[in-house]
Structure 1
Amino acid sequence: MDWALPRLVTVAKASAWQYSSAADSEPGRNDSVNTNAACPADEMIPTPSTSHVDYNRVYEPAEDSYLLLDTLSASSESNWLRARFPPTSATPSAVEVGCGSGVVLAFIAANAERLLGRPDVTTFGIDVNEFACKATADTVSLAIKEAGPTNQSVFGGSINGDLMTSLRPGSVDILVCNPPYVPTEELPNESNLDEFADRADFGSDEAFDRDSRYLALAYAGGMDGMEVTNRLLDQLPEALSQHGAAYILLCAQNRPDAVKDRIRSWAHGWSAETVGSSGKKAGWEKLSIIRVWRS
């Protein structure tokens, strides 16, 4: 669908780039690993392969990633999404902000029928890390290819950009975000990332500095771990479609209950509920996923 990216992205935003996937030119290969997510019928759904991803430069799937997969594939959440986006409605768009390896977006694309009750979803990734954009393109394209001929999902592209600033208003139906949630004294400096992107002649010290900075962008959340998430929340009302829903991962120190109360206070009737949790683990490491939508 050549129309998909222009429909979603504000073309005037110079920070938005579309990455094609090397997987498009490769024969299908089946090296999917892990079976940690259950579908509505309690059938185990394979986790998409990320064996091609360089984890020195891109955030490696971990407990938070798998919590998102478990939450989206839970029967209660699948039923909610099926009612929200019935097969008679237009193909929904799914956008992952901070797409990293692309494992979550690939999971949605490859398992649209099981998660949404329909074979089609148009997917897009957004990340400030250009290596993550390229990794996501490969991961999602490969997962769609391996899903088989009945799957009608489309990968629209990866956008090298800042949160949702490059998206058209009201264009996102399903938003997923595992933001940098770890409390840190400050956010990483993004000012010279373009210098890294345009060079290939790195010395070992420079390469280490570049890779460390890219990885810090994936976890360092600033004050209370909420500086990036607060900006994301501010953009949600404009980015989501009328029936859109956002899934946002938080840790305990992000104060999820306060975040939900804040969202519920927005004008025009917004709801926020916890739909996934890492369990009873104490301290800031306890993770939760909130769903945000217009009531």
Structure 2
Amino acid sequence: MIPTPNLDHLSPGDYEHVYEPAEDTFLLLDALEKDAEFLRNEIKPCICLEIGSGTGCVSTFLGKILGDGTALLICTDINPYASAITNKTGYHNSIQLDSITTNLVNGLLPRLYHSIDILCFNPPYVVTTSDDLYLSKSILEKAWAGGIDGREIIDKMLPLVDKLLSDKGVFYLLLINENKPNEVCEIMKNNYHLQSEVLLSRLAGREKQLILKFWRNTR
């Protein structure tokens, strides 16, 4: 069993500026751990990318899974405070993370076109109004407010997945039932020929969270 990354370097004040790991974070960690042997022995990644890294907990955990330190672990977050904390979390756990402050993957394409072997995204998925999403002045609210069906940010990311994933690449996406995961799977299959499965699911209070795994037909 791989231990959860140590976050002792973070203070309660840090969580006023960055999303604190919660049930959704830990579900994504469990999904990556479930696929650990597959990721190490079949994917053998060169470049990994996490969108919306927050504290850096997920990418640090992924670095621990991969173990040998040969993969480049890139993280993006729109929140500059999160980018700084991500780097600190990696350092505190002896994992090298390269954190970039940007919106989704702005600035990474076309350079990383079809280059990402492991892609992770725990998106802002909570169902809100569009106003809550786009008019909010709170950087922390942007970490969870997802707009209509909780899908407005997710739907912006979906076309980029096809551009980013390598031929052997795999994409892990956290959703809740309200995000209409079956519809997401159909979009990815029909528009981008990506296969999918529900890797893990769990109830968190009244919220059903699940991890979708996507990959190309070529595998």
TM-score, normalised on structure 2? 0.88
Give aligned-pair identity as a percent: 35
8 Å contact 1:109–1:122 — kept in the other structure? Answer: no
- 1:105 corresponds, among 54, 59, 67, to 59
Query: What displacement does 1:121 show?
Result: 2.1
User: Which protein shows a greater Rg?
Assistant: 1
Post-superposition CA distance 1:235-275 (Å, at most 9, x none): 111111121111000001001111112111124x3211111
8 Å contact 2:36–2:65 — kept in the other structure? Answer: no
Identify the residue that residue 176 of structure 2 maps to in structure 1: 251
Structure 2 CA distance for partners of 1:282 and 1:107, relative to 1, 3 Å: closer
8 Å contact 2:40–2:66 — kept in the other structure? Answer: no
Report the Cα distance in structure 2 between the residues aligned to 1:92 and 1:84, rounded to whole angstroms: 12
Query: What displacement does 1:52 show?
Result: 2.5
Post-superposition CA distance 1:40-88 (Å, at most 9, x none): xxxx3211122233100000000000001111101xx2233234324xx
8 Å contact 1:185–1:222 — kept in the other structure? Answer: yes
- 1:125 corresponds, among 75, 82, 86, to 75
Identify the residue that residue 65 of structure 1 maps to in structure 2: 25
TM-score, normalised on structure 1? 0.66
SS of aligned partner of 2:21? coil
- Amino acid in the other structure paired with 1:57: H
SS of aligned partner of 2:169? strand
Verify: 1:95 aligned to 2:49, yes or no: yes
8 Å contact 1:164–1:239 — kept in the other structure? Answer: no
Verify: 1:277 aligned to 2:201, yes or no: yes
Identify the residue that residue 294 of structure 1 maps to in structure 2: 216
Query: What displacement does 1:172 show?
Result: 1.4
Structure 2 CA distance for partners of 1:119 and 1:158, relative to 1, 3 Å: closer
Post-superposition CA distance 1:110-130 (Å, at most 9, x none): 2313xxxx5532111100000
Identify the residue that residue 166 of structure 1 maps to in structure 2: 107
Please show how residues 205-284 of structure 1 align to structure 2 within 5 Å. Answer: 213-267=138-192, 269-279=193-203
SS of aligned partner of 1:47? coil
Query: What displacement does 1:103 show?
Result: 0.4
Identify the residue that residue 84 of structure 1 maps to in structure 2: 42
Structure 2: gaps (5+ residues): none
Report the Cα distance in structure 2 between the residues aligned to 1:56 and 1:244, rounded to whole angstroms: 34
Identify the residue that residue 87 of structure 2 maps to in structure 1: 137
Query: What displacement does 1:189 show?
Result: 3.7
Report the Cα distance in structure 2 between the residues aligned to 1:239 and 1:184, rounded to whole angstroms: 28
Report the Cα distance in structure 1 between the residues aligned to 2:40 and 2:7, rounded to whole angstroms: 27
CA root-mean-square deviation = 2.0
8 Å contact 1:109–1:143 — kept in the other structure? Answer: no
Runs of 4+ residues deviating >4 angstroms: none
Identify the residue that residue 181 of structure 1 maps to in structure 2: 125
